[in-house]
Amino acid sequence: MGYLDGFRVTFKKLFEFPRLTRSYVKNEGGKREKPERLHGRHVLNRYEDGMEKCIGCELCAGVCPARCIYVRGADNPLDNPVSPGERYGFIYEINYLRCIHCDLCVEACPTEAITESKLFEFSFTNRSDAIYTKAELVVGDDGRPKQLPWEDWTDIDAVEANTSAWMRATAPNGAAEFEGIVAWAGELGYGVKPAEQGQSVDAPATPAESEPEPAEEPADDEHAGEHH
């Protein structure tokens, strides 16, 4: 009879008034502030010349703990290559019913092809919509993600600048000595993104706040009088 305990809550709520159904808050001040490094839905990036960065190596699929990426590589057509190098991502799919947005695929990718945007407001009415295909994931001719019918882009102004590559905020290999050094490729529509400053306690918040170089001291008092 233990299962009846569950119904106690149901019946209690049945006679509670007023009954409230809260609408999705959109931009009415009800949304919580997003973390700076929110992991949203992925994009497949392109180089500044429009070539796709994905080389179909399948490392992202291999590392994914949720097994939600399906990739197939193919040889680049010699007369019209899709990506630099031998191969490109011929098929690329991510199943968002399984993805846990851990970002391991982004870490594994050798060409920065797959990155996570800040877009997270999407809902599906069928399973096939939840499986994003390559055509849906690859950025458009302006370098921006493609908006799909079931995605809410109300906040796009706030997230547009970060629709790719949150990882570029940190050192490319995580080592402190590389902090602030740009070591990544440019991307279509954005060029080469600058490194984010202020990542460690020793780093200045912005380049403008750096300490000025100390003026060179004269070698000795005798020569000091010669300078005006």
**Chain contacts with ligand SF4 (rule: CB under 6 A):** 54-60, 64-66, 68-69, 71, 89, 94, 99-105, 108-109, 111, 113-114
Cα–Cα distance for residue pair 123/137, rounded to 1 Å: 16
Residue 71 vs 167, nearer CB to ligand SF4: 71
Residue 58 vs 160, nearer CB to ligand SF4: 58
Q: Which two tokens stand for residue 28?
A: 């009415």
Q: For residue 184, give the nearest of 169, 199, 205 by alpha carbon.
A: 169
Q: How far is the CB of 57 from ligand SF4 (least distance, A)?
A: 4
3-state secondary structure 135-194: HHHECCCCCCCCCCCCECCCCHHHHHHHCCCHHHHCCCCCCHHHCCCCCCCCECCCECCC
Q: How far is the CB of 136 from ligand SF4 (least distance, A)?
A: 14
Residue 105 vs 180, nearer CB to ligand SF4: 105
Return the half-sphere exposure (C-beta side, CA atoms, 13 A cut-off) of residue 82. 20
Q: How far is the CB of 96 from ligand SF4 (least distance, A)?
A: 8
Residue 110 vs 218, nearer CB to ligand SF4: 110
Q: How far is the CB of 190 from ligand SF4 (least distance, A)?
A: 18
Task: State the DSSP code for 203.
Answer: S
